[in-house]
Every structure is written in structure tokens, then in C-alpha cells.
Structure 1
Amino acid sequence: MKKTKIIEIESGKLQGYVEKGIEVYKGVPYAEPPIGDLRFNAPESKHTWSGVLAAIEFSPVAPQPPSPFTPQPAPPQSEENCLTLNIWTPSTDDKKRPVMFWIHGGSYKTGGANNYNGIPLANRGDVVVVVINYRLGPLGFLYLPNAPNFSANVGLLDQIEALKWVKKNIMKFGGDPGNVTVFGESAGAGAICSLLGMPAAKGLFNRMIPQSGSTSPLGYQKGRAIATAQRLTSLLEIDKDDIDGLRKISAEKIIEAQTKMDQQVLEGGTALLLGYSPLIDKNTMPKHPLKAVLEGETKNIELLHGTNKDEMRLWELWYPGVKNSEELSNRLSLMAQPMGQSKEKILEIIDLYSETRKNPTEIYNTIITDTFFRIPSIRLAEMQSKNQPDTFMYMFTYPSPIRNGSLGAVHAIEIPFVFGTLDMPRAVNFKLFPASNKETERLSAKMMDSWISFARNGNPNHKEIPDWAQYRNDRATMIFGKDVKVINDPYSKERSVWDDIIIFKE
């Protein structure tokens, strides 16, 4: 292993290694371990260490329940001492490269930085790639408003602390602290959008690329967060305001209770209602992120946003489909009350989507894809484009090979295309992602170059794709699939039926 030179930052000295011409630094702590009295609290900046930190191995990921996406056969080690980041850089010179800061997904309860490799992006784009761990589930998003010495949204505050670390230290790794693009997928994308409503995040990044995640129409609700905390503390047999007692319970026992609760929620038919997620809180997120956007507080942030065509069909791999039209109506009617809509409006939506789709499962998954992914993304782009012209939209349509391609472009399938990691071992125990071949590698190259170009100058255009116009009244959307092309207002009929529904809800 060829080692890098020793880098000295404010906290201490560290040394990484060189792989394929890229300097790699793994497991770099950006905050103190959130244990003991720091559990459930905002992160504390990393203290100094002595000696030279060997930054050559991934650190443990945040404690979490098992997931179908957990790498097999050996899942990564997890522990509360997880607030670390990984860096890939072409050189630790003074060139001041664009920084691409990735926030992983996983429903705010699973995932980790160990699943990602920044070498292809760093090599191709001469950029610095940073991937972080942050607290998940009840350890990152439990809401206990009456407990003393407690902070909400600590998982998001971890991300802000990591961004502050980048602002302070990334020049030592060849990066430009004044040119930071945050990008992420699923919950990572939702987290990025949540940062728009958090004053502490202001000025820490210049651009954002939320992939398959936005401001959820059912998100940010304190009522659900309080109910989740009550259910969890009941399973733990402890008073919900006894934060000192909660800090003494092992992380393993908390995750065990979380797993049991998740199963109860699934059996109750409310699997889509995230129990642990960002919420509006006067101290950390005083207003809804979209309200901040509408008021022009985010006008200096350039936006590249998009979704996959068949997001929700991924879950067909684990959960039973919709048997008939009656079950379809019953399932979707459950969404009416939380969204503040009548059942009649939900039935109108079902009728529209049924015009071109006959299978109840396909209709259901398409409506849910639009409800939780596509339409919220469009809403954010509509609002942001009023104050920031450099707003762009995409849709990913390349199908997964699962079930002979019948599932389409499911949730998360675009990630290896963006990272250029199609030829690397799968991070899941089934072949969800397309294999590396000439067609997929060409598509990956086009996407990587768009993401890199946007990170460099706020414009995703390059010579290998059609002209990609800013998102305006014609709703220009770049389609990344077997063909790469621009379509104005894709699925416009379905989009328009939501025009009077999903804005935001405080």
C-alpha cells in the first residue's frame, strides 16, 4: 500500500493511501463520538488527537436494523462512534477543486458511507469527493420535546457539522471550500432539501443535487414524531421524558426495539410513514424548507433535481402487490386524511392513472412514485426556479435487469451510474443494478459528466448530451435512459392532476 504524505489539520495529523492515482482518506472523524451525555445532542466538534491517524479503513456505520440493501455476506460493523467521513482527492495540492459531498439514503434508518467509492468521480472530474456517516433512526431523529438537554434533528445537525468540517479543512485535501455541491439519494436527498430550512446550514454549500428524494408531502409532522417516540419508549419500558435513562440503554437494545416497532408498523399497513425523519423545530428547523425557498432564502443555491421513473416498484421485491381495484382504492384512500384531501380526489387520481395502466399494482406504485418522489421534486424545482435560474430537472429511465426488466427504473438504480461503479461488486445481495457493458458505461459517463459539470459551474451541459435547458414554463427534463434526450413536461397529464394538492404542510 502506497501511503500519502501526512496531512495536518486543526484536529491533528492523518495519513491515507493512494489507489488508482487517487488519494484516499477513510474514517476521518469530524465530531466527537455521540455517546454518553452526547447521545441525542447536537454533535460536538472533534477535539484534537495525538500522533498520526491512519485513515486507511472505513469506520463503523451508525447503529441500524438489518436491511435488504445491507452488503453481503458480511455487513459493516456498526457503533455509535460513527461520525466520520471519507475523502477521495486527485491531489492534496492547492488547486482548489470542486467538492462533491454525498449524503447516503436509507429511510433515515439504514445505510452508511462504506457503500460508496469516490475514485471514478474524482478521477474523471478532477473533483474532491466526500462521503459521510451520520446518526440514523432513533439515535438520529427521535423527538423528545419535553426532555431537558435534548436536540431535535441531530442526524441533520451531524451533516451540518460535517459540512463545517469541509469548510474548514478541505483546502488541505485539494478542495475549494467555496465550491461545495451536496448530492444524495432517497433520504439523503430529503436531508439535503431539509437543510434549506435550517439556518445553521446557510452558506455551507453552493449547489445541490437531490436524487429521488425531496420534501415529503407527509414529512416534518410533529404529531407522527411524538407518536413514534411514545411507541419506542413504551417498548423500551421507560418514560418518554427520561432522557438520562434513555442514554443508559444500549444502542443494541434501542435498535432491537426499533426493529420490532418497524415490523408492527408494516403489519398495520402504514409502511410509507417514516417514523424517524426531519421535522420542523424552532431551534433547528424553524420553518418548512419550501417556505424558505418561497421566501427567497435559498436563491443563491443552484439546483439539479430528479427522480427515477419507477421508484416504488423496487418494493415489489419484498411486499405483496395490489390484488384488485377495491384494494387499490382502500390503500390509497388511507393517504387522503394525512394529505388533507378528500377520498373523492384520490379516486379521481386513480381514474386518471388507470387510463393508461390496467394492473392495480402498477397503478398503485406509479401513484405512490408521483406522490412521494416526482411531484415533490417538481414542486421544489418550480419554486426554486423563480429565484434561481440555474435550476435543472432530470428523469432516469434505464431499467433494472430484475425480472427481465419488467420493474423498470426502480429506486436507487441510478447510484452506480452517477458514481461510475457499475463494474464493482454489488452492494446488495441480488443483481438490482445493470451490468457493466458498452451501453451502460456510455450512459454512466454522460451522467457523471453532467454531475461533475454542475458541481464545477452550476451547469450540467456538456458536448455528449443534447442541450439541457433550465427548468422553466416548458418544464425541460433530461431523460437518462437507453436514449438520452430532452422531453418537455413528461407525463404532463399525471402531473397536472396534482396541481392543487401537494405544496407543503407545516
Structure 2
Amino acid sequence: MTGPAVVRSGPVRYAVAERFARPRPVGGHDTRPPSGEICPQLPSRLDAVMGPPHDRRPQGEDCLNLTVTTPARDTAARPVMVWFHGGGFSSGAGLMDWYDGGALAAEGEVVVVSVNYRLGALGYLCLDGLAEGNLGLYDQLEALRWVNTHIAGYGGDPDDVTVFGQSAGALSIRLLMALPEAQGLFHRAILQSAPLAIATRSRADAAALGRIFTEWLAVHAPGADPRTVDPAALLAAQRDTALEHRERSGSTLEPPFGPVGTGHTGLDTHVRGMDIMYGWNADDMSAFPGEKSENGDPAEPTRRMYAEPLAAFGRRLARAGARVHAYRLDWRPAGSAFGATHCVELPLLLGSRAAWRQSPMLGDSTWEDVEELGRAMRATWTAFARTGRPGTVVPPLTCHEIPAPRP
């Protein structure tokens, strides 16, 4: 992606955390250079769709880092867009080249913040006496607090923040909407392909998976303390827990480690007056071969997993007094076996030609094809961040407003 010059800052350490503990904001006494680490993780289950990442980032637990991309570090008070990546709560990182916000920042005159958060067992293990669960969600909360405190120094307006995220990142936003501590930290939201049916699991179910995890950890590191064992053993136990969970649940979509229900019921109150856009890709479920219908058509499972739950959610938001828009992306890149699949919108919004080269989901599309549609889609996203309305929408993207119910 090309365009006017931008200023990239980061990685920036926004918080610190002990293993299995909540994050703490970085104090002024912490003068260490940022590590640039991303959360320890296994290869993504979507490598066959997206392709493996071309950049190799160091992995480690000092991973609460973010990047900021801005047209200028001045006093212009631009709209801010904070990105939470997807990856099934088990892979990915805001620091990856896939999620570079340079084109969004330059073309839309916005400040883009891309956030790492803890993943897998390190971020979402739930087990009495060891980990409370939802630590990755609290990382995201701490990142939003960092933005609120510091983003003015990067040319952004802390009172004009849009959160946007895809898949697991979009599910995170759904939970942050109801979290009392997050109120006032963002003002608009874009949820991309959020599989709401698997947004959370009960604490009892999460604890049962936590016990399975500790059993596998005892296989890989007999007698080791989970608080101090080498991360490689944690990842090995996490892998085997995922395999066992898949066999038990029959689902290739539902991750073994993810958010636990927070018990907060304030969503309807908290979203009143907010601008929210949600949507999905027409063939989202083609990325999950084990979830297709008997004839291999992704349409029915996509309707069941994305379209219907998101439509119901949109109606709820509108009833609660939010201003709501819904979109659908029908872009099927030439030569791609995946169609308008899960993640196919990402190269249209973020990253670069180098980051997305040879991505299977892009098929035979040239980067010029990607850029032509990408410029239009980025304009829609940044218009929403600036005004709460998507502005001009160009097919194969469609968008409509969800009407508020009559009194």
C-alpha cells in the first residue's frame, strides 16, 4: 500500500503482567526498552487460508506491546482506531506486518493503534487457584487505558476512539461493550466476522478444560509448576488440550481457550448513543472445512454461525439506543478456492503487498485488484470512525442501517 508518509511508533510497552495475573500499567520507573515480543503461540489453524506470516517476531511473555501509526505527532486530535486482531484467541499479534495501519492512517487521516494481548492458556486459562480467565481481555482493557492517557501525544483524540476487530478481536469488543471498566474508553465499534455463538463459555466448562490442560502439562513437564514451567511445555499442553476438545466437541471452530462469561449485564445501557457497525463475509465458514454443510457449501453454516446471530445482535443494539449499521462483503478473489472467506477483508484494510504475498485466500488477484477495492473499503471504515456513518459504500461491499424500533 502506498500513500502519504506516516509516522510509526513502537513497539510500545503498554502494560506488564506476571504469568496468570492481571496486567498492570507501565509505571514511570520502567525505563526498559520494549521487547517487541508477541505472545508465545503455535502456528495458526488458518495458515492454509491466510498463508503463514512472513515476519518472524520474537515470542515471549513480555508481550504487552502495541504500535501507533499516525499522519503526524502533532496536536491535530485525529480520530483514533484501535485494532484487536483475530486468531481464535490462540494465535496472531498486533505487531505483525499483516496489521500495519499505514494506509488507513494516511488515507483516512486517523491514528491507528494495533495491540498485542495474551493468548491461549497464558491469556484465557481458567482454573481455581491458578488463573481467573479473561486475562487477554483485561490486557485489551489496559491497552485502551493507555490510549486514553497517551494518544494525544501521537496526534490522536482520546475522546474519539473507535475499536475495530476481526473474529476473536470482534468477540473481545462485544465483551468490552458490557465491561463497566471499559465505559468511556471507546466511542464507536466495528465488529468483523464475530462468531457470537461461541463468544463465551461458562466458568464451569472453562474450569473443566483447565483441568484437562493441567493433565496434559503433567505429561509434558512432570512435577512442574505451571507458574514457572517453560513456555514450550505450556504450548505442548495447549496443543493437546485443543485436540482433545475438538474430539469431544466435534467443532473445528470453537477454541479451547477463550473468554469466560463476565456476568456483566450492562450491555444495553452501555451502548446507548454509540455508533456500531458489524458484518461478515459471505463465505466466512469456508475457512473451516470441518464445519461445512454436507455438500461442502459454506452458505448454510455461515448463515447459522454469523449472519443470524449478528442480525439478532444488531436488533438488540438498536433497541438499546445505539446507531447501528450492518455490512456484508461478497468479494470472491479470482482463482481462490475459498471465496469470500473468513479473513479475506484483512488485506483490504491492513498490511502491505509484502505482508500478504502468496496468501492462498487472495487466489490470482493482483495487488492492484486488492488495492482498488481496499481503498474503497478503507474509506468506509475511516468514514465510520470519523462520523459514525459508513459514507459511500462500493460493491462487493454492501451496508445498511438497522432502524431503531418504533416507540
Q: What code does the residue aligned with 2:190 have?
A: I
Superposition deviation, residue 256 in structure 1 = 1.0
Bigger Rg over Cα: 1
Q: What code does the residue aligned with 1:395 have?
A: R
Superposition deviation, residue 70 in structure 1 = 6.7
TM-score using structure 2 length = 0.87
Corresponding residue of 1:66: 43
1:418-466 CA-to-partner distances (Å, cap 9, x unmatched) read 23x4633327x64322534555433222211111011011111138789
Corresponding residue of 1:380: 313
Distance 1:218 1:133, change over 3 A: closer
Pairs within 5 Å for 1:110-125:
110-113=91-94, 114=96, 115-125=98-108
Pairs within 5 Å for 1:81-230:
81-113=62-94, 114=96, 115-144=98-127, 146-147=128-129, 150-217=131-198, 219-230=200-211
Distance 1:432 1:453, change over 3 A: same
Distance 1:320 1:272, change over 3 A: closer
1:53-109 CA-to-partner distances (Å, cap 9, x unmatched) read 5x7xx8121111122257456632211110000000111111100000000000000
Counterpart Cα distance in 1 of 2:31 and 2:183:
34
Distance 1:45 1:425, change over 3 A: closer
- Native 8 Å contact 2:273 2:322 kept in 1: no
- Native 8 Å contact 1:122 1:128 kept in 2: yes
Corresponding residue of 1:27: 11
Pairs within 5 Å for 1:402-441:
404-419=335-350, 421=351, 423-426=353-356, 430-433=359-362, 435-436=365-366, 439-441=369-371
Counterpart Cα distance in 2 of 1:463 and 1:257:
45
Superposition deviation, residue 473 in structure 1 = 7.7
Q: What code does the residue aligned with 2:383 have?
A: S
Corresponding residue of 2:238: 258
Superposition deviation, residue 248 in structure 1 = 1.5
Counterpart Cα distance in 2 of 1:50 and 1:107:
31
Which residue of the other structure, out of 7, 22, 25, is the alignment partner of 1:45? 25
Counterpart Cα distance in 2 of 1:237 and 1:196:
37
Counterpart Cα distance in 1 of 2:138 and 2:65:
14
CA-atom RMSD in angstroms: 2.8
- Native 8 Å contact 2:125 2:132 kept in 1: no
Superposition deviation, residue 184 in structure 1 = 0.6
Give the secondary structure class of the aligned counterpart of 1:425: helix
Give the secondary structure class of the aligned counterpart of 1:228: helix
Structure 2 residues without counterparts, runs of 5 or longer: none
Which residue of the other structure, out of 295, 299, 310, is the alignment partner of 2:283? 310
**What's the % identity of the aligned pairs?**
29
Distance 1:463 1:413, change over 3 A: closer
- Native 8 Å contact 1:302 1:388 kept in 2: no
Q: What code does the residue aligned with 1:221 have?
A: S
- Native 8 Å contact 1:193 1:214 kept in 2: no
Distance 1:70 1:222, change over 3 A: farther
Q: How many positions carry a matched residue from both structures?
A: 391
Give the secondary structure class of the aligned counterpart of 1:196: helix
Pairs within 5 Å for 1:455-466:
455-462=385-392
1:270-306 CA-to-partner distances (Å, cap 9, x unmatched) read 32332111112xxxx222xxx533x333113210110
TM-score using structure 1 length = 0.71
Task: Compare relative contact order (CA 8 Å, sep 6+) and give the higher one, 1 or 2.
Answer: 2
Structure 1 residues without counterparts, runs of 5 or longer: 1-18, 323-327, 329-359, 475-506
Distance 1:24 1:315, change over 3 A: same
Which residue of the other structure, out of 455, 459, 471, is the alignment partner of 2:402? 471
- Native 8 Å contact 1:214 1:380 kept in 2: no
Give the secondary structure class of the aligned counterpart of 1:470: strand
- Native 8 Å contact 1:70 1:111 kept in 2: no
Superposition deviation, residue 221 in structure 1 = 2.2
Counterpart Cα distance in 1 of 2:152 and 2:291:
50
- Native 8 Å contact 2:163 2:190 kept in 1: yes
Corresponding residue of 1:339: none
